[in-house]
Amino acid sequence: MADSKPPKAIDLFAGPGGLSLGLTLAGFDIVGAIEWDPQAGMTYRHNIGDHVTIGDIRDVPPSEMDRRLKRAGAIRSKYEIKLITGGPPCPGFSLIGRSKIANLILTGGWDGSDHRHSFIDDPRNQLFREFVRYVSHFKPKHFVMENVGGMTSYKDQDERPIISVIKSEFESLGYSVEARILNASDYGVPQNRKRIIFLGTRDKRRQTIQFPKPIGITLSSRDAISDLPRVLPHLGRPIEKILKP
């Protein structure tokens, strides 16, 4: 008899919990999450669950997450984790991020005269390796990693396309990996938001990785929120009256 329990997942770089919410609605049991930003982490904790760790992922190695999940009774074995998801921070990969860093260099706000070298050395550009370490430790059947579309034009210090570097690291762990740029507007989101999505599997029954097909309908912001009550100026309460000191 097949196990009817929801598959367990870990959400890295979880933000306020949008991806965890979607996975929960899709039938997954999110047993662990990590988010660095305190406000985003508290939002996650309030809306999704208190299984989120608020802090730097580099201070929570996968072995520590493993121990915490076992101590909490969320898993008995690390192999119960079937999916790992997340979107590592990407300032050096995004075109906007590169523009900001370049401006800091030009104005003296960033130490370094070689723009290219500075992009490479930005430690935030290496956070995807933390994702790889989690996949290496838990060995889930599948993983989903997203990042900005600008990553496709980025190369490492050896002039290798970063996309190829990332794919090869996962492939060395035994995963089949595909990467594709998807636009959220093709899937019912009222926003033109392009992201590169890495899908990986080590399920031998799934040799072909399939990305979702566009739904064929584009929604505008009016379509999404026009039914909400109108909020007129001066009719709400001052925010200081709402927030507790």
**pLDDT digits (tens), the chain, 245 positions:** 356 899 999 999 999 999 999 999 999 999 999 999 999 999 999 999 999 999 999 999 999 999 999 999 999 999 999 999 999 986 555 444 545 555 554 566 545 444 444 444 555 567 899 999 999 999 999 999 999 888 777 777 777 888 899 999 999 999 999 999 999 999 999 999 899 999 999 987 766 788 999 999 999 999 999 998 887 877 766 655 555 55
Strand runs labelled E in the chain: 8-12, 29-35, 52-54, 81-86, 142-148, 176-183, 194-201
pTM of this prediction?
A: 0.80
Cα–Cα distance, 244 to 2 (Å, whole number): 49
Judge contact between 173 and 138, C-beta under 8 A.
no
What is the amino acid identity at position 145?
Answer: M
Catalytic residues: 90
Q: What is the pLDDT of residue 114?
A: 47
Per-residue confidence (pLDDT) for residue 239, from 0 to 100:
57
What the block records as the tokens of 159 is 């002039």
Cβ proximity of 110 and 118 under 8 Å: yes
Closest CA to 85 of 20, 152, 5: 20
Contacts of 121 (CB under 8 A, 6+ apart): 112
Assign a CATH topology to domain 8-242.
Rossmann fold (3.40.50)
Which single residue is written with the structure tokens 């921070």?
Answer: 89
pLDDT at 208: 78
